[in-house]
Amino acid sequence: MTPKEAMQLAIQEAYKGWGRVYHNPMVGCVILNQKGELISKGFHREYGKDHAEVDAFKKAGASLEALKGATVFVTLEPCAHQGKTPSCAKTMSQWPIKKVVYGLKDPNPLVQGKGLEILKNAGIVVEAFGDFSDELQELIEIFSFNMKHKEPFVALKVATSLDGCLAYPEESPLRWITGDKSREHCHFLRAHYDAIVIGKNTLLMDNPFLTVRHKDFPNHKNKVVIFWGKGLEKEIFRKTNVYQSHGEKEIFLVAPKKTFEDPKVIWIESSA
């Protein structure tokens, strides 16, 4: 396997963590032996659980013997600090590997460059990959934005016809201008985000569920943020699909302060 093939495979592995790893970035790892043959591959499976490097190590049978002289390809610099899991760089420094090839430096200021230094100090050759920059950046787009700007990453989803229409006329028997495949992809995208934001008209006119209905994410739930200019009566709100499918703790209502001074409107108590 060539270095390019190894990094391409690591990128593919990273995407297996889609929708499961926030607050962390998606990361993939591939380990080759001295002959360039695949030993194992791994990915960061879920926030708080094994990172990609450790996942690949375990898939290699957790055998240090198998790693003698090996080269590790990882899409992102191994983490240097102790968080939900031990430092990957410190763990890898105990492996009998020859080289680590990384895709990008970690944008996290707690980590940036420090993981590489730990590996170098352990006598491991460290090398920047220098290719697939766009593909690698896309893997950490949201994580990198959060680190740089200290604010949420926001994406706008719009479905339109070729002539710029958003929906069929009210008298039309048709419900959607989209097809099954585009709606399935929309639910796949939803799983990658933590919250869905809508306005009052969407709530009242469409009465959406705003759940993630995708075979790969059967239990995934997003928080819902509703922008509301005026009060919403409790009984009306509690009959909506959003309320029935999420419950008060997963819904945030954003409205002027005076909205909540009316005893007829609902106040949603929720933890941040």
Q: Which residues are catalytic?
A: 53
In whole angstroms, what is the distance from residue 253 CA to residue 250 CA? 10
What percentage of the chain's residues is helix, strand, coil (to nearest 5)?
Answer: 35, 15, 50
The CB density around residue 180, as the number of other CB atoms within 10 Å, is 8
Q: Looking at 112-213, which runs of residues are DSSP E strands?
A: 125-128, 195-199
R_g of the chain computed on alpha carbons: 23
Q: 41 and 12 in contact (C-beta within 8 Å)?
A: no
Is residue 170 within a helix (H) or strand (E), and if so which, with residue range? none
Q: How far apart are CA 142 and CA 25, in angstroms?
A: 8
As a whole number of angstroms, the distance between CA 160 and CA 178 comes to: 8
DSSP code at position 177: S
